[in-house]
Structure 1
């Protein structure tokens, strides 16, 4: 199942103005969570995962803290109850994925991979309006709540470390109740490119056409499917959909030229038209996080 996805819209953040606040010498991170009316679910989760003593330690820590509304949205999107989350064996891993070693204020945030206490990386992006996002689907809505042992930034959603490669996500989608990416996966198999997007050491951005997009291409070419497209042409088309770096929607900039695995093709970003390489971005299916990159769904096949 695809993870909850982010639409392409950008929204103003409540407070991400770079600051260098003085720490609250009286209250540690746990004290602030316990005293707030906005972190009831987080409080229960920290207790259940036996992380209270850890976050009362000297640190310092940076905690990206989902508020109660963030947990509610996450639970609703995943058809879960609070007890399902609290009793999950993965609870500790999810919570530690929200914690960095060291105190990082909003003015010290930098785009790109950040190692977490969990051991997995999270990915920070700054959108054109100056707002900060994590993994493309979670926004920092309040920043620089300082404590004696670190700093808290409030999130509007829960972040979860990825567990599948790009190829695994695509294959899983072909087997869902409403199958998608069947044509993309079949075309990748024919072009012997599945291994490339399954490489756990890689770091890709894949613009993934829907099945409907492939059907429109077949109709335009007068063919029955990807098997009827010359292999060299099919390979050139598919590699033009893969950028050899990780770029979330918030990282894209108007007029940017993105290199691809096809050395003869670059993709031009047009944010006003919501297109990349002339293909329409599917605003409901962006920023699908994988262990080796990110997927953005597009409604057209890019033909270099």
Structure 2
């Protein structure tokens, strides 16, 4: 009897082992999460189910349904437009990193993904993680058998224009901006200095046209052509920091070295100011291939 009972328990244990569910892979986890219904459809439409079901491991920065709906609305699209986009696979691959990166291991800086264009991670003073200056990681460490998922509140996309190209394009917008900045850069021969690709890292604090007009009035001149060239060049260099600093990377009281040798800018986060110039809240983190633009309301003059 004792032998029969022992065999019976052993058989039950074997049955329990057989009934243990296999851990789900990334695609299965996303398919089973009601917050990722659109993403699940997009992965299938892009033909990425096989790749994301593979050995990996992968880290997926996954926009939830609300994030994708916001992106669709902001870009005047429909869900069908997004799913039929010829570049859908690249858009999704931009959100995927090789390796399993837990939230505790995320660091600020450039991150290589499954495309040729990196994305950029920032950690704000409260510890929140942001990507490309405009997308926040809102949930972390959702595990799968072949990786991990972190949830985003927006779709991330790589920039396609340099700082110079963004500024020039803005001069012909419905509401033109940066006409004076472009004129000043052109006269000083600095357009090439703010052109470039992902290997370059610049932060430009870009004065508005109104800021330049106020400067002309202060100097008693009619425009950039009337300003001493050496002074103009120094002023422009003083607005450029040789690193890619999104607003979330800034710290109160920090000193930011500039392209003007020996001169730095000071950050006042509570006042949202750089030196004596205010940052324009609605025009921060304009992302470019070679850096980021933050718009300011005054031209900053070095000592």
Question: Same-fold call, TM > 0.5?
Answer: yes
Q: Whose RCO is larger (CA < 8 A, sep 6+)?
A: 1
Please state if 1:242 is matched with 2:213: no
What's the CA shift for 1:199? Answer: 2.6
CA distance in 2, matches of 1:208, 1:130: 27
Task: State the structure with more CA Rg.
Answer: 2
Q: Give the 5 Å matches for 1:48-87.
A: 48-87=45-84
Q: 1:252: Cα distance to partner?
A: 0.4
SS of 2:281's partner is: coil
Where do 4+ consecutive residues of structure 1 move more than 6 Å?
none
Tell whether 2:154 aligns with 1:157: yes
Cα pair 2:26 2:52 within 8 Å, conserved: yes
Deviations 1:6-64 (A, max 9, x none): xxxxxxxxxxxxxxxxxx96111111111111111111211111111110111000000
Indicate conservation of the 8 Å contact 1:214/1:300, yes or no. Answer: yes
2:187 is equivalent to residue 194 of structure 1: no
CA–CA separation in structure 1 for the residues paired with 2:255 and 2:100: 35
* Secondary structure of the structure 2 residue equivalent to 1:284: helix
2:90 maps to which of 67, 89, 93: 93
The answer to whether the Cα contact below 8 Å between 1:277 and 1:302 also exists between their aligned partners in 2 is yes
Distance in 2, matches of 1:92 and 1:215, equals: 46
Instruction: Name whichever of 140-149 and 258-267 sits farther off.
Output: 258-267
Correspondence for 1:231 among 219, 229, 232:
229
Give, in whole Å, the separation in 1 of the partners of 2:148 and 2:121.
17
Aligned residues: CA RMSD:
1.2
Instruction: Report whether the alignment pairs 1:119 with 2:116.
Output: yes
Unaligned runs of 5+ in 1: 1-23
Partner of 1:10: none
After TM superposition, the structure 1 stretch with the greater mean CA deviation from structure 2, 216-225 or 54-63, is 216-225
Cα distance between partner residues in 2 of 1:122 and 1:25 = 33
CA contact (8 A) 2:253 2:266 kept: yes
Deviation digits for residues 86-106 of structure 1 (CA, Å, limit 9, x no counterpart): 122221111111000000000
Within the alignment, does 1:132 sit opposite 2:132 as a pair?
Answer: no
Could you say what secondary structure the match of 1:39 adopts?
helix
Distance in 2 between the 1:82 and 1:211 partners?
38
Q: Partner of 2:8 in structure 1?
A: none
CA contact (8 A) 2:96 2:114 kept: yes
**CA–CA distance in 1 between the matches of 2:36 and 2:188?**
49
Q: Is the 8 A contact 2:170 2:177 kept in 1?
A: yes
Q: Once the 2 structures are TM-superposed, how far is the Cα of residue 265 of structure 1 from its aligned partner?
A: 2.0
Q: Map 1:283-302 onto structure 2 (within 5 A).
A: 283-302=281-300
Distance 2:101 2:196 in 1: 31
Query: Structure 1 228/25 Cα, relative in aligned 2: closer, same or farther at 3 Å?
Result: farther
**Paired residues, number:** 281
CA distance in 2 between partners of 1:79 and 1:297 (Å):
25
Q: Deviations over 1:159-215 (max 9, x none)?
A: 001111111111111121111111101110000000111133421011111111111
Matched-pair contact (CA < 8 Å) for 2:196–2:289: no
Unaligned runs of 5+ in 2: 1-20
Q: Distance in 1 between matches of 2:156 and 2:216?
A: 38
The Cα shift of 1:137 comes to 0.4
Greater percentage in helix: 2
- Partners of 1:266 and 1:205 lie apart in 2 by 13
TM-score (norm 1): 0.90
